[in-house]
Amino acid sequence: MDKYDLVKMLKDLDDRLSKSSDLVIIGGAAMILHYQANRATRDTML
């Protein structure tokens, strides 16, 4: 999963939520979003 796919997935999730929620992002997904890593994860767990 790259940054584009991760951001798209998070935006799709946001569109489906009916109320405000907290989300903690760790591991490879955090590396992609915060440190601009390339393809640091193969999966995302929610």
pLDDT at 46: 62
| Residues in Cβ contact with 38 at an 8 Å cutoff, skipping those fewer than 6 apart | 2, 32
pLDDT of residue 19: 94
In this predicted structure, what is the pLDDT of residue 32?
85
Q: Average pLDDT in the 17-34 region?
A: 88
The dihedrals phi and psi of 37, each to the nearest 5 degrees, come to: -65, 155
Between CA 11 and CA 14 the distance in angstroms is: 5
Domain boundaries defined on the chain = 3-35
Short-list 25, 29, 35, 37, CA closest to 6:
29
Q: Looking at per-residue confidence, does 16 or 38 come out higher?
A: 16
The mean pLDDT value for 2-21 works out to 92
The residue among 37 and 5 whose pLDDT is bigger is 5
pLDDT of residue 41: 65
